[in-house]
Amino acid sequence: MNLLSGVESKSFKTFTFFTFVVLIILALLVTIFSYKYRVSTINYDHELNLNYEGLKGIENLSIWLVDDDNFEKFYLDNPNVENLEISKQLPNVIKININLYQKIIVYTDFRDTSPEQRVLYKNLYTADATSGKDLAHLAITNGPIVDGFFSEIVSFILTVEKYEVDLREVSLTFDGNVLTINYLDTIIDAGKAVDLSRKGTVVGYILEKGDCKGKVTILQSSGEDIETLFEC
């Protein structure tokens, strides 16, 4: 008799627990698919000159299901977007903070029949330069340009900006062989456009000190160090 009572008690507890779990799942499903929690408002910066069509894909979607995977189209439409910061304001508002890749430099390729200014982003994406007053400038006067050239330019600027140098006053010229940097009263011959991250440390140091009003030539030595010739 006691054994039977124990079995009945255990079965009742199992049934009670199972019922509780089912109710929780049902409550979650009701919440997830409730119209109350469907996205109806999307707040973001409208002044970034982007294609915002890809943001519309989350309209009427359950706010609980919104994550970065929902914005694949937006990323494809806007290669200069690095990431999105998504916050949810219950019950139906999504706030999106759009972070763009850093603009590195404005360049003009004078090898083209109709040269135009373009801006180079950190991820190597390029676009028409609508504004570049706060950026360094690069003029490409001759070619060819080898693979990895723009990656080297990105590395160079990211290195030089670590120093107290006004990038707005930095202008680079590449003639297909030599990269020349002009900054106020200083001209630096950086040689070939290779190893520009290391050369950038030399350039940044020289420009930050600002005590050479003349020409500096960067010489690649056979060892690890980079030698420089000053004509100040």
**Predicted pLDDT at 203:** 96
**Predicted pLDDT at 225:** 78
**SS3 of 2, please?**
helix
d(CA 228, CA 230): 6
Length of the chain: 232
Q: β-strands 226-231, 93-100: how paired?
A: unpaired
d(CA 56, CA 71): 9
**Predicted pLDDT at 36:** 80
Residue 34 CB contacts under 8 Å (≥ 6 apart), including other chains: 62
Nearest alpha-carbon partner for 138 in 163, 165, 175: 175
Residue 54 CB contacts under 8 Å (≥ 6 apart), including other chains: 71, 72, 73, 74, 75, 76, 77, 78
Residue 43 CB contacts under 8 Å (≥ 6 apart), including other chains: 93, 94, 95, 96
**Predicted pLDDT at 170:** 98
Mean pLDDT, each 10-residue run in order, the chain (232 residues): 49 59 56 74 95 94 92 97 96 96 97 94 94 91 93 98 97 97 96 94 95 90 75 89
Kindly report the pTM of this predicted structure.
Answer: 0.83
d(CA 39, CA 31): 13
**Predicted pLDDT at 21:** 60
**Predicted pLDDT at 7:** 46
**127 near 118, Cβ under 8 Å?**
yes
Counting other chains too, the contacts that 213-219 makes at CB distance below 8 Å and 24 or more residues apart are 213/185, 213/186, 214/185, 214/186, 214/187, 215/186, 215/187, 215/188, 215/189, 216/186, 216/187, 216/188, 216/189, 217/188, 217/189, 217/191, 218/188, 218/189, 218/190, 218/191, 219/191
**Predicted pLDDT at 3:** 45
Count Cα neighbours of 100 within 13 Å in the Cβ-side half-sphere. 15
